[in-house]
Structure 1
Amino acid sequence: MKVDCLVVGAGFAGAVCAERLAASGRSVLVIDRRNHIGGNAHDRPDAHGILVHPYGPHIFHTNAERIFAYLSRFTDWRFYEHRVLASVDGRLLPIPINRTTINGLYGWALDEAGIRAHLDAVRVPIDPIRTSEDAVLASVGTDLCDRFFRGYTRKQWGLDLADLSASVAARIPTRTGDDDRYFTDRFQFMPAAGYTRLFEAMLASPRITVRLATDFFQVRDAIAWDHLIFTGPLDGFYGHRYGRLPYRSLRFEHEHLAGIETFQPVGQVNYPNDHAFTRITEFKHLTGQQAAGTSIMREYPCADGEPFYPVPRPENEALAQRYRKLAAAETRVSFVGRLAEYRYYNMDQVVGAALKTVADLGA
């Protein structure tokens, strides 16, 4: 088979590249070793008709109007602002930490100035900030760090805060007011009909052929292509030449609760200190579906399984840089996405990286 462009992976990185390349007049073959499109953002109705995310909750948010406008070509939207509670000492308290969190935890009634003064008093002065522990202690002090972050991090990453780069903790702000939204981006929406429908629209061009349940490494010699877009693990492309890049994986436990309108007050509740799972997602909050029962999912981080998250540590970044040097020397291959670039991207950042990649290719 001969195509202008072979795209490996039908998630956001691959689908965006395929759509743009096809729009520029190229023939595109998209392959994915899974039996569905959408990558980890894939969603589908469960046995009870409730739209669920099999690979964990995917909440779209961005400050980039051009990215929102681009995706809006392929979906209508449902306005949704994600809210997260943390189960700490028998209470459900907002995360990111805000005034409500601190007052609820300690039984206080401080105003914003009081919260600011409290945080100023408990912060640990650390300079320079190198680790996630440094970042959290410098933001909220020891007690809040231990109650909200230390246990969650150990479960999520299998590492202590002190063993992770500062970039992980830096993703979570601290607020002195009552804003309890998890994100503050300008555009916060969910695809009205779900992510899979968005991907179907994105890949609908007659110039795009999609082959699922197809492993690139088994068919690479049977396909002729002028340019390759690779969105899988970067180290895997090179046969783990320098050793394996560490990834964190997840195991998901789905449960349907018949006859219950809602299980929890928000879409996501974190469990930093109790249980083996890190969080419970209730999908009806995310999708706005009306149904007699509800479907929830518990999330268990693990070391082995599908690669989900690059592990942000200096030694891992150094190894990734060795692979990136190999990638930079390629003239007919582009590497795009969280796994192919070994970067902790949000969905909108993946879309942005994909758009830049194909723009550089003249699409």
Structure 2
Amino acid sequence: MEMYDYVIAGSGLFAGTFAYLAGQKGKKCLVVEKRDTMGGNLYCQDIEGIHVHKYGAHIFHTSNKKVWEFVNSLTEFNRYTNSPIANYKGEIYNLPFNMNTFNKLWGVQTPKEAERIIESQRAAMKGEPANLEEQAVRLVGTDIYQKLIKGYTEKQWGRDCRELPTFIIKRIPVRYTYDNNYFNDAYQGIPKGGYNPLIDRLFAGCDVELETDFNQYRERYEKLGKKVLYTGTLDSYYGYQYGKLEYRSLRFESETLNIENYQGVAVMNFTDRETPYTRIIEHKHFEYGTQEKTVITKEYPQSWEEGREPYYPVNDHTNQTLFEKYRILAAQEHNVLFGGRLAEYKYYDMDKVIEAAFDLADRELA
């Protein structure tokens, strides 16, 4: 029976970064993946020569030069800049909220005019915000909240904004410039050829077993490795013994259309409550595609249940208390490492995932 230095449960970006760094140190890794594809939610499907982000749009951005140099050493990135559009009942607004947005809303032209309107609307909210609606109005005023936040947020979380806690929106970016770049990070782009070449490089040299549930055969895999790196949901690792953590999930509907250009932008958010999906992704625009056809994906938020992909942790007090019970159990393990968004019950941007994997590799492989 072959012995591995690490048996890695899951094949997302955290697992891949650690596997690559371990391989650079001469460590042998076995990757056990439940799906029939590698890469976790980064996996791209080739349709009509278009790299379709099958599990939701992933736009890489970072201000960490070390992270940027790392991913570019594995594959080449393009210069894609995320400039999404908000569609409110057919009215088109730029995101993030900037002078283009304010000009469309109120006809203002200068930052001072826009600031005056927002401040007057914010001032109407007295006292400490008691829910997300009051928090949002306190941050950006009533007009922006009603048209560009309320409907989208209620679809995303499946509840009225007055029933949602304030912590979901800690800050809302407002820019008094005519700049549609969603991220302020120094580096941004999409891998040329989609994310699969990056995933292939990260796991090159690893042995891989697909369509295998690590938890179902855990005893066997623990015997195959000196250590386990587990990147799945923490509650499932412990058989949900304290109960299940809550998530929001997504359902995707993709279509191939016999036209070159459907919406003119990669990401269009639908911010009214009546439209059942939150956004449409037109994938070819991530890589400036010139194909004769196009592929679009509609994203429908939904509640999570076993068998669905857990996307967004519901980080309220109840779930954080429950997660802490599982975290205490995990801290007592001797030969099992835990990491990534699922094992840490945490929403991670991709660069932060890589940073966290760097930190683990520094501790483990030094």
Smaller-chain TM-score bracket: over 0.9
Q: Residue 45 of structure 1 aligns with which residue?
A: 46
* Change beyond 3 A, Cα 1:194–1:167: farther
Instruction: Write the distance in 2 (CA, Å) between the matches of 1:59 and 1:167.
Output: 25
* Change beyond 3 A, Cα 1:65–1:133: farther
State the 1:204 CA deviation.
1.1
Q: For residues 254-306 of structure 1, what are the alpha-carbon distances to aligned partners after superposition, in whole Å with 9 as ceiling and x for unaligned?
A: 01111x22111211111111311000000111122220111110000111321
Q: Residue 110 of structure 1 aligns with which residue?
A: 109
- Tell which deviates more after alignment, 69-78 or 88-97: 88-97
Q: Residue 144 of structure 2 aligns with which residue?
A: 144
Q: Residue 323 of structure 1 aligns with which residue?
A: 326
State the 1:131 CA deviation.
5.1
Instruction: Write the distance in 2 (CA, Å) between the matches of 1:294 and 1:327.
Output: 45
Q: Residue 267 of structure 1 aligns with which residue?
A: 266
Instruction: Write the distance in 2 (CA, Å) between the matches of 1:320 and 1:126.
Output: 35
Instruction: Write the distance in 1 (CA, Å) between the matches of 2:266 and 2:26.
Output: 41
Question: Matched residues, percent identical?
Answer: 37
**Residue 346 (1) aligns with residue 345 (2):** no
**Residue 216 (1) aligns with residue 229 (2):** no
Write the letter of the residue equivalent to 2:161: L
Q: Is the 8 A contact 2:52 2:283 kept in 1?
A: yes
* Change beyond 3 A, Cα 1:20–1:33: same
Instruction: Write the distance in 1 (CA, Å) between the matches of 2:338 and 2:138.
Output: 36
State the 1:345 CA deviation.
0.7
Q: For residues 295-322 of structure 1, what are the alpha-carbon distances to aligned partners after superposition, in whole Å with 9 as ceiling and x for unaligned?
A: 1100001113211111122221221122
- Tell which deviates more after alignment, 243-252 or 287-296: 287-296
Write the letter of the residue equivalent to 2:59: I
Secondary structure of 1:191's match?
coil
* Change beyond 3 A, Cα 1:164–1:348: farther
Instruction: Write the distance in 1 (CA, Å) between the matches of 2:126 and 2:325.
Output: 31
State the 1:147 CA deviation.
1.5
State the 1:73 CA deviation.
1.8
Q: Is the 8 A contact 1:126 1:134 kept in 2?
A: no
Q: Is the 8 A contact 1:310 1:344 kept in 2?
A: yes
Q: Is the 8 A contact 1:165 1:312 kept in 2?
A: no
State the 1:76 CA deviation.
0.6
* Change beyond 3 A, Cα 1:282–1:172: farther
Q: Is the 8 A contact 2:139 2:172 kept in 1?
A: no
Write the letter of the residue equivalent to 1:323: Y
State the 1:219 CA deviation.
2.2
* Change beyond 3 A, Cα 1:80–1:165: farther
Secondary structure of 2:19's match?
helix
* Change beyond 3 A, Cα 1:231–1:266: same
Instruction: Write the distance in 2 (CA, Å) between the matches of 1:233 and 1:191.
Output: 27
Instruction: Write the distance in 2 (CA, Å) between the matches of 1:131 and 1:86.
Output: 24
Write the letter of the residue equivalent to 1:170: K
Write the letter of the residue equivalent to 2:284: K
* Change beyond 3 A, Cα 1:357–1:165: farther
State the 1:349 CA deviation.
0.9
Write the letter of the residue equivalent to 1:354: A
Q: Is the 8 A contact 2:51 2:283 kept in 1?
A: yes
State the 1:132 CA deviation.
3.8
Q: Residue 309 of structure 1 aligns with which residue?
A: 312
* Change beyond 3 A, Cα 1:129–1:6: farther
Write the letter of the residue equivalent to 1:59: I
Query: What aligned pairs does 1:193-204 form with structure 2 within 5 A after superposition?
Result: 193-204=193-204
Q: CA RMSD in A?
A: 1.8
Instruction: Write the distance in 2 (CA, Å) between the matches of 1:241 and 1:137.
Output: 40
What TM-score does the superposition give when structure 2 sets the normalisation length?
0.93
State the 1:326 CA deviation.
1.4
* Change beyond 3 A, Cα 1:246–1:49: same
Write the letter of the residue equivalent to 1:316: N
State the 1:89 CA deviation.
4.0
Structure 1 runs of 4+ aligned residues shifted over 4 Å read 124-131, 162-167
Q: Is the 8 A contact 1:34 1:214 kept in 2?
A: yes
Q: Is the 8 A contact 1:164 1:313 kept in 2?
A: no
Secondary structure of 1:96's match?
coil
Q: Is the 8 A contact 1:84 1:267 kept in 2?
A: yes
Secondary structure of 1:339's match?
coil
State the 1:130 CA deviation.
7.2
Instruction: Write the distance in 2 (CA, Å) between the matches of 1:313 and 1:158.
Output: 15
Give structure 1 stretches of 5+ with no counterpart.
none
Write the letter of the residue equivalent to 2:148: F
Write the letter of the residue equivalent to 2:343: A
Give structure 2 stretches of 5+ with no counterpart.
none
Secondary structure of 1:327's match?
helix
Secondary structure of 2:178's match?
coil
Q: For residues 44-74 of structure 1, what are the alpha-carbon distances to aligned partners after superposition, in whole Å with 9 as ceiling and x for unaligned?
A: 212x221101111111001111111111221
Instruction: Write the distance in 2 (CA, Å) between the matches of 1:348 and 1:68.
Output: 8
Q: Is the 8 A contact 1:163 1:313 kept in 2?
A: no
State the 1:162 CA deviation.
4.3
Instruction: Write the distance in 2 (CA, Å) between the matches of 1:179 and 1:312.
Output: 31
Q: Is the 8 A contact 1:9 1:30 kept in 2?
A: yes
Instruction: Write the distance in 2 (CA, Å) between the matches of 1:230 and 1:19.
Output: 16
**Residue 231 (1) aligns with residue 239 (2):** no
